[in-house]
């Protein structure tokens, strides 16, 4: 049996990383792969919908990242095939470092000094300190938990919100829809590291964001469709929110005419918060390949029902 890699961005780094772990792996590259009945495992990112119908002996499909929203939206996703994703400490650590950078940039308002620099203006300003703010993390999974604990180490007062409650020393984790308003009421800096599901789509809307205290700041590193862009812009212009840092967008690349580009209080980054490193995740992919082949329990299984 063989493994196929489906990635419009290129397959070479993935082939080298997988071969490094197991030189004997039979690896094929979409769309040039033939004899698709020999494929038992697909490693994929942003695949063209409908293609899995051509792989009659597929046992497992692995996302090339932590997210599976694109994968699960395929109307022709074969029902009998298991779906797995990647959970990687490096991916989580990169996210934690990125979120820390965004928060520090916000507390010190470094963007404002950069603008003043372009006009040669020397003008000191007050700033916020780590102890002045409470950070609320939406999504306390593999990545969110790491973000929370790294921020805690840096001295932040951190809270979390997830579907189910969790015990994390020093961090209150609110759970479910009932506890969401209380979580928002207490959050000065809101960070979404949620997966995109039917329940989280549009969750960063006016009704919810209004529950944040005045001058709260929003960071979205989860998925773009969680945010209603117009609601964010309205709440910033009304002075309820102080600004936002967005790394993910409903349409990527962000279209040139999107309102978010021109917002002075919104930072836009091109989905670079944390990038999967093929070398770091290759061992778990190879492990899952053999587990699927031998009918053993898989790692990092995705629930189609929950959507993550
Ligand atoms: P996990 O599946 O490990 O964690 C998901 C978390 O979200 C869990 O804590 C889960 O709750 C919570 N959650 C899911 N649905 C709800 C809901 N309806 N209400 C409340 N909480 C909910 O995922 P990861 O941490 O690995 O990744 C999270 C997301 O981060 C990815 O899906 C992806 O969208 C995004 N991401 C973005 C990147 C970037 O570069 N911008 C890079 C990597 C990932 P519970 O624990 O109770 O199940």
For the chain (308 residues), the mean pLDDT of every run of 10, in chain order, is 96 98 98 97 97 97 97 96 97 98 98 97 98 98 98 98 97 98 98 98 98 98 98 98 98 97 97 97 98 97 97
**Distance from Cα 124 to the centre of ligand 1, integer Å:** 39
Rounded distance between C-alpha atoms, residue 297 and residue 290, angstroms: 10
**The predicted structure's pLDDT at residue 107:** 98
Q: Is the pTM here over 0.95, yes or no?
A: yes
**Distance from Cα 118 to the centre of ligand 1, integer Å:** 39
**The predicted structure's pLDDT at residue 115:** 95
Residue 271 appears among annotated catalytic residues:
yes
Specify the domain boundaries for CATH 3.40.50.720 within the chain: 2-88+276-294, 90-268
**Ligand 1 binding pocket, CB closer than 6 Å:** 65-67, 87, 91, 139-144, 161-164, 193-197, 199-200, 221-223, 247-248, 271, 273-274, 308
**The predicted structure's pLDDT at residue 208:** 98
Strands (E) located in 225-293: 241-246, 266-268
Token pair for 240: 């309820």
**The predicted structure's pLDDT at residue 207:** 98
**Distance from Cα 47 to the centre of ligand 1, integer Å:** 21
Residue 47 appears among annotated catalytic residues:
no
198 in Cβ contact with 179 (< 8 Å):
no
267 in Cβ contact with 34 (< 8 Å):
no
Can you identify the CATH homologous superfamily of domain 90-268?
NAD(P)-binding Rossmann-like Domain (3.40.50.720)
Q: Which CATH class is domain 2-88+276-294?
A: alpha beta
Strands (E) located in the chain: 2-6, 27-29, 39-44, 60-63, 82-84, 134-138, 157-162, 172-175, 189-192, 216-220, 241-246, 266-268
**3-state SS assignment for residue 1:** coil
Q: What share of the chain is helix, strand, coil (3-state, %, to 5)?
A: 35, 20, 45
């Amino acid at each position: 049996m063989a493994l196929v890699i489906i990635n419009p961005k290129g397959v070479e780094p993935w082939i080298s990383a997988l071969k490094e772990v197991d030189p004997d792996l039979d690896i094929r590259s979409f769309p040039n792969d033939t004899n698709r009945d020999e494929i038992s495992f697909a490693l994929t990112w942003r695949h063209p919908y409908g293609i899995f119908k051509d792989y009659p002996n597929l046992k497992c499909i692995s996302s090339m990242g932590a997210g599976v929203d694109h994968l699960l939206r395929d109307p022709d996703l074969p029902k009998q095939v298991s779906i797995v994703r990647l959970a990687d400490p490096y991916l989580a650590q990169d996210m934690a470092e990125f979120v820390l950078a965004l928060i520090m940039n916000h507390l010190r308002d470094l963007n404002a000094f950069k603008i003043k620099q372009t006009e040669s203006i020397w003008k000191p300003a007050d700033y916020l300190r780590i102890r002045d703010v409470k950070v609320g993390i939406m999504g306390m999974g593999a990545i969110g938990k790491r973000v929370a604990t790294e921020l805690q180490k840096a001295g932040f007062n951190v809270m979390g919100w997830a579907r189910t409650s969790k015990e994390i020393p020093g961090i209150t984790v609110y759970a479910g829809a009932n506890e969401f308003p209380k979580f928002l009421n207490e959050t000065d800096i809101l960070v979404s590291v949620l997966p995109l599901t039917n329940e989280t789509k549009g969750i960063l809307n006016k009704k919810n964001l209004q529950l944040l205290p005045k001058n709260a700041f929003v960071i979205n590193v989860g998925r773009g469709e969680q945010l209603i862009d117009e609601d964010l812009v309205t709440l910033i212009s009304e002075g309820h929110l102080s600004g936002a840092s967005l790394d993910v967008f409903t349409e990527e690349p962000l279209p040139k005419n999107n309102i978010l580009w021109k917002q002075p209080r919104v930072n836009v980054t091109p989905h670079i918060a944390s990038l999967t490193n093929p070398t770091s995740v290759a061992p778990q992919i190879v492990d899952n390949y053999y587990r699927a082949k031998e009918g053993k329990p898989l790692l990092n299984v995705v629930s189609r029902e929950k959507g993550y």
